[in-house]
Amino acid sequence: MRFTRIAAAAASTMLLAACGVLPDGPSPMPSDWVPTPTVSPAARADAISPDGFSRAQRMTLRVRNIGCGFIATGTGFAYDDSTLITNRHVIEDSRSIEVSTYDGTNLTATAVSSTTVADIAIIRTEESVLRSFAALAQEDPEEGSVITVIGYPGGGELTTVTGVVLGSTADPLDSAVGKVLVTSAEVEPGSSGSPVLNESGAVVGVVYAKTDDGNSLIIPVSTLRTLLAETSLLVPEALSCDAPSQTTNGTSIP
């Protein structure tokens, strides 16, 4: 009898336990089997170029210095919708400054200012037509960093070259206070004022000269930031052949 009771209790327990492990029926059928996309094209609209040119290409400008009896070209880049940054020696002895974009649009400069602290000049344009601007890096590039230079070497087509930062040195042209950086990027006359970009696309310097061994010299972004913060260091330039002009030493590359 005892065995029967135990068996009955065990069977009842097993039966109840079995009820717990019985399979359920299917849950309701999903109406949509396609997952929702996590990234939509609209969210990345600002990252898409309107014409196939990169932001760096669109912000880089060709500077034409119509001087007193000469024509010189250089490079600059947009800092905001009406402000350009280039080299001081690019706009020297100028009677008129003209700027053209990557697609051939011409802009006329209304004011030019430069500084003796570094080979840097600021150009203001008449119209606020610039749409792509430079983002300045927070820190100077370290030795060995990969950099990209976009400019108009020889006054020719928009060209992109790459190199690495080789180190820092005192300015051999004495046109800048403090250290400048040496890079392996190849530049030519006409590349002066070209933006130097890091791998994130931020501006880390401005090309202003080349050395005899084919390297390029750049003004670091820390100096550029200092100049932009201290506007009193920038002196307006008179666009006239009669006005005395600042000069720089020989090997800079207009």
Minimum CB distance to other proteins, residue 76 (Å) = 13
Q: Is 157 in the site for other proteins (CB under 8 A)?
A: yes
Which residue, 58 or 88, has its beta carbon nearer to other proteins?
A: 58
Burial code (b: 16+ CB inside 10 Å, e: under 16) for 204-224 equals bbbbbbbeeeebbbbbbbbbb
Burial code (b: 16+ CB inside 10 Å, e: under 16) for 73-111 equals bbbbbbbeebbbbbbbbbbbbbbebbbebbeeeebebee
Which residue, 195 or 205, has its beta carbon nearer to other proteins?
A: 195
Per DSSP, the three-state class of 24 is coil
Q: Is 18 in the site for other proteins (CB under 8 A)?
A: yes
Q: Which residue type does 172 have?
A: P
The C-alpha atoms of residue 121 and residue 208 are separated, in whole angstroms, by 11
The C-alpha atoms of residue 95 and residue 68 are separated, in whole angstroms, by 6
Q: Is 141 in the site for other proteins (CB under 8 A)?
A: no
CB-based contact 208:92 (threshold 8 Å): no
Q: Is 25 in the site for other proteins (CB under 8 A)?
A: yes
The pattern of x and - marking residues 39 through 68 that bind other proteins according to CB under 8 A reads: ------------xxx--------x-x-x--
Beta bridge partners of 108: 98
Q: Is 103 in the site for other proteins (CB under 8 A)?
A: yes
Q: Is 32 in the site for other proteins (CB under 8 A)?
A: no
* Cα–Cα nearest to 225, from 61, 59, 62, 85: 85
Minimum CB distance to other proteins, residue 213 (Å) = 29
Which residue, 52 or 250, has its beta carbon nearer to other proteins?
A: 52
Q: Is 160 in the site for other proteins (CB under 8 A)?
A: no
**Strand 121-125 with 106-114, pairing:** antiparallel
Only one of the segments 115-123, 134-142, 152-160, 223-231 lies at the binding site for other proteins (rule: CB under 8 A); that segment is: 152-160
Size of interface with other proteins, in residues (CB under 8 A): 37
The C-alpha atoms of residue 221 and residue 209 are separated, in whole angstroms, by 16
Tokens of 211: 């050395």
Q: Is 4 in the site for other proteins (CB under 8 A)?
A: yes
56, 58, 73, 207: which one binds other proteins (CB under 8 A): 73
> Rule CB under 8 A: which residues touch other proteins?
1, 4, 7-8, 11, 15, 18-19, 22-26, 29, 33, 51-53, 62, 64, 66, 69-71, 73, 98, 100-104, 106, 152, 155-158
